[in-house]
Amino acid sequence: MGMAALMAFNQVVSHGFGLFLFVALVPEMRMDMSIEAWHLAFIGAGSQVSYLIGAALLGVWGHKLPSNKLLLVSGLVTASILLSMIFIHSPIVMIFGLCLMAISAAICWGGIVEIIAGCSQMGDRSTHLSIASSGTAWGYGLNGLLLLTVVPALGWQAAWFVAGMIAVMCLLMTSKVIKMKCAEVNSLVSFERMVSLPVALSTKELLKVVLIEPVARSTCLILFLVGLATMPFSTWLNVYLAELAVPGSLMGLAWLSVGLSGMVSGLIIGRLADRKGSSTTLFCIFSIFFVSSVAFVLDPAKWVLLVSVAYGLMYFPVWGILAGWVNRAYSSKATMQINGIGMITFGAGGVLGNALAGVVQQYTGSISILFEGICVVGFALVLFSMYLLLSEFLLRRHVVT
């Protein structure tokens, strides 16, 4: 559990700060740095593309480096950029730094997956991975805390400094703990070789596995659908609520609900996956998200907090659940590679979803149709998880007979 908590701390830094702190600080920074609308457009598109690049690098070349080095290098890059943001006055340089942190965030999650897969018992693996993935939600919460306490008193530069110092502390702690755990990881690699699990996949083997093997293929397809639903949801939720003239306080409560539910979901949902199975857990969280999305479409102001909680329960732990599921069939190194391809499909789904949202907004003048589409994607996730449940049931029945 201690390693899972430390990896969640790394997720706070890489995703919570590296990807989302700028979004929280942009109103204050925009006044001081002459950040224009086209800068923000480049940042949004550049961050998504950079995350995809990081995931691709992880899937194709990540297996050639030890996971501890991947994690430490990405931590060093993120910490350095967070601290340097204090001194950056050019929006172009800032965009470059944010894109580098997006690449680093993707690589960091790959290192986290391999390390936890190597250090956790099989019966606790989904729990530990879900706890680590929920670190992003803790990052949301810390960003809000910085915005409420540090920025009003000391300015936005102080928020970057505090985030950078937290990143340095995390880097030092991670370096110390990983040295102690190296023996366990090496033992796991030796065991995986003994039982004929491929420690790493070549690029050709990786693509073949993702296209043909049911577990890897299903994981990538699920992450594509999750990206198609969640990325436009998070991007356009406040826009839609503002369109409906919902009070700003309710918008704030909605995102607070996302963060709080994401914080607690790692342990609860991960434990459910270890005890009841990944397919059952996926069916539960996708069903909750679908039902909540339908309620939100019917009465947005009344059910926005419900769908926000459901979003947090589904989005943050799903990464850990799927990584734990893959790791039951593949080595820790191959799990990291497959997860890298999964991140690419997730990003592709997110890009497609946001592009469709933009088209809807352009041609209809309203974003309500987007959230109806998210309901359809949510229903597809429910159906897919039902298919996985049925497949597992038939397989168990066949084995018994």
For the stretch 193-241, pLDDT in tens is 444 445 677 778 888 888 888 899 999 999 999 999 998 888 788 778 8
Share of the chain above pLDDT 70, in %: 91
* pLDDT score recorded for residue 195: 42
Token pair of 396, please?
């168990």
Q: Is the pLDDT of residue 394 over 80?
A: no
Q: Is the pLDDT of residue 51 over 80?
A: yes
Is residue 38 classed exposed, middle or buried when 0-12, 13-18 and 19+ CB atoms within 10 A define those classes? exposed
Q: Is the pLDDT of residue 164 over 90?
A: yes
Q: Is the pLDDT of residue 272 over 50?
A: yes
At 126-146, the pLDDT tens digits run: 788 888 888 888 887 888 788
Between residues 44 and 181, the one the model is more confident about: 44
- Could you tell me the sign of the dihedral formed by the alpha carbons of 339, 340, 345, 346, in that order? positive
Token pair of 21, please?
């702190």
At 82-117, the pLDDT tens digits run: 999 988 888 889 889 999 999 999 888 888 888 887
Question: Cα–Cα distance between 136 and 139 in angstroms, integer?
Answer: 5
